[in-house]
Amino acid sequence: MAKLWAQAGKISPLWYDHHSQFPATVQMLYTLAHLFRGAVAAKLFHFAYGMLGVGAVFLLTRRHISPSAAPWAAIVVATTPVYTWLWGVAYVDLALVAYVLLSVHFLLSWIEKQKISYVVLSGTLGGAAMAVKMQGIVHFGVMALIAFYVLWRSPQYCRARRGRHVGLLLLVALIVAGPWYVKSWIITGNPVYPFAYSIFGGKQWSAAQAQWYHRHQQSFGMGELPSSAVMRALPWWKRSLVGPREPHKLLIAPVNLTLWPEEFTVEVGKVAAMTQMSVGPLYLIFVPLLVIFSPRPGKLKILLIMFGILWLWWLYSMQLTRYLLPTLMLLAPAAGYGIYRSLRAGIVLRVSAGIVLGVWLVAVVLFNWLMLSPALPAIAGQVSWDSYLRQTLDVYGPSQYINDFTAADAKIITYGEPRCYYLQREYLWGDWHYHQMIVYDRMEKSEELIAAYQRLGITHILINRRYFGVSDRSEQADRRLLAAAIQAGHLKLVQRLGAGNQYLLFEVIAQQGKGSSSTR
């Protein structure tokens, strides 16, 4: 999005990508980055947010939990594999983490001192979190509940003043985050597009896509969901207690998340999941130890309550590790405090804690070496970045082939491949669940598909066979129609690309004198 907005010189909807309607504060920084140094500068922005998040945990722990626990809490965050991995990529999750933690810090400061400046700062940063991702709405909502609880428990003589503070908290957050949601409402008809479709609807979206999107989100976690037909036949209350949400799996979810991280992330191997996508063992080991330590800081109870509410929300929404991070970081002060107290306890616990920490720190160094080592030759200038990308990014070679061997006015539609950053041609995603620019379900013949391509100016099709299989027997209309179009000769195979011919590049054959070939 940032690259395309920078090239166009304006922010406009990318109707093939519903993510372009999300709040996009960090993408604005990435857009600025693309006017100068592109992906390098964008990643540095996200890296800076990662540093800010570690500092926020240190600050929160030092001020509200224990000064001695603050360094350990920061170490817990900095050695969380998924956090470390995100340090090197240009997502937006670390910005959300930083804003949530700082907002919570100032909320706790307000609870303690009741200063209006803390309310303004907490509301501003909470609004910033909601302006980064819609996920921030839930986190700020829990903070608001805590604030209302404080108001409810307030003595009568100060309730009016605290009520004004809580109102100001909400108002400031709304002012900061509101413009993104108003923008989405104006453009799509839905302030939280594409979510809540049954309530708001939304352009370029449908009930079937909303249902697929929800099912896709529900599929993460231990266990498989029943088929769509079986799900529809279940009572409404039981649909939330199947697959990854079976009661016994919810009870042991912390253990599963720690030991089997590959079940809680996108499709990766066990090693990659452990080294890059996991939460690590420190939370599971040191937080439960809090039950044996007394006394415990009072504000730690507030953090644990917030974590508990958000943990339940995560379990029932989308059990993706990356989406757990802002919630998990609320647990980092507790883990840091558990480490601090363990190292001051009896000899057995002290030695055991020291061994765990030593082994884990060595493991984290090895994990990061595994991530960094493939790029070292390029960093050192021994090989070009072009060679590095060809070796490590499967879609890079096909993208460069398209850039080199298609006309400048070619337009590409991709299936099973949303990673189009390196394409220097106009493009859009083709999979049916992304948008309604091509309404596959209303088509019966391949000629209708070709007519839709010509209407959109599509000249070529790129298919990633790893994630998108073309078949005339598929239940999905887009796959059936593509198979029919190939069989009818409407699509001409131009090249097989990538290792194992993972990618297929087709040219759209113009019909009835419309369009022309763009391959040279």
310-320: pLDDT as tens digits: 999 999 999 99
Give the pLDDT confidence of 429-448 residue by residue, as tens digits: 999 999 999 999 999 999 99
Q: Which helix (H) or strand (E) holds 495?
A: strand 491-497
Banded model confidence at residue 517, pLDDT cuts 50, 70, 90: very low
Give the pLDDT confidence of 111-134 residue by residue, as tens digits: 999 999 999 999 999 999 999 999
pLDDT at 256 over 90: yes
Q: Give the pairing type, strands 503-508 and 460-464.
A: antiparallel
Banded model confidence at residue 489, pLDDT cuts 50, 70, 90: very high
Average pLDDT over residues 399-405: 97
Higher-pLDDT residue of 340, 36:
340
pLDDT score of 389: 94
* Beta carbons within 8 Å of 40's beta carbon, 6+ residues apart: 33
Phi, psi of 205 (to 5 degrees): -145, 165
- Give the C-alpha separation, 3 to 33, whole Å: 9
- Give the C-alpha separation, 432 to 454, whole Å: 17
Show the tokens assigned to 154.
């307030």
Q: What is the mean pLDDT of the chain?
A: 94
What residues does 507 pair with on adjacent strands?
A: 460, 492
Sign of the CA dihedral 135, 138, 144, 150? negative
Banded model confidence at residue 518, pLDDT cuts 50, 70, 90: very low
Distances in Å between the alpha carbon of 287 and those of 105, 301, 357, 384, 432? 20, 12, 14, 45, 44
Q: Which helix (H) or strand (E) holds 461?
A: strand 460-464
Average pLDDT over residues 4-25: 93
Average pLDDT over residues 289-308: 93
Show the tokens assigned to 205.
């979206």
pLDDT score of 519: 41
Distances in Å between the alpha carbon of 239 and those of 196, 208, 262, 495? 18, 18, 24, 45
pLDDT at 473 over 90: no
- Give the C-alpha separation, 257 to 486, whole Å: 43
pLDDT cut 70: percent of the chain above it = 98
pLDDT score of 310: 98
Average pLDDT over residues 379-399: 94
Q: Give the pairing type, strands 491-497 and 503-508.
A: antiparallel
Q: How far is CA 118 from the centre of its chain?
A: 29
- The DSSP annotation for 188-255 comes to HS-TTTTSSHHHH--TT--HHHHHHHHHHHHT-SSSPPPPHHHHHHS-TTGGGGSGGG-HHHHHTHHH
pLDDT score of 475: 86
pLDDT at 506 over 50: yes
Average pLDDT over residues 365-382: 92
Average pLDDT over residues 37-54: 92
pLDDT at 520 over 50: no
pLDDT at 513 over 80: no
The three-class DSSP label of residue 505 is strand
- Give the C-alpha separation, 324 to 39, whole Å: 25
pLDDT score of 178: 97
Give the pLDDT confidence of 334-351 residue by residue, as tens digits: 999 999 999 999 999 999
Give the least confident one: 22-31, 38-47, 332-341: 38-47
Neighbours of 249 (CB within 10 A): 18
- The DSSP annotation for 247-267 comes to HHHHHTHHHHHHH-GGGGSSS
Show the tokens assigned to 326.
């802002």
N-terminal to C-terminal alpha carbon distance within the chain: 28
Q: What is the CA radius of gyration of the chain?
A: 25
pLDDT score of 516: 44
Q: Name the residue with tokens 């809540």.
A: 196
Q: Where are the domains of the chain?
A: 2-196+214-345, 394-508
State the DSSP code for 424. Answer: -
Average pLDDT over residues 192-221: 94
Task: Specify whether the backbone of 197 is left (phi greater than 0), alpha (psi in -120 to 50) or beta.
Answer: alpha
pLDDT score of 228: 86
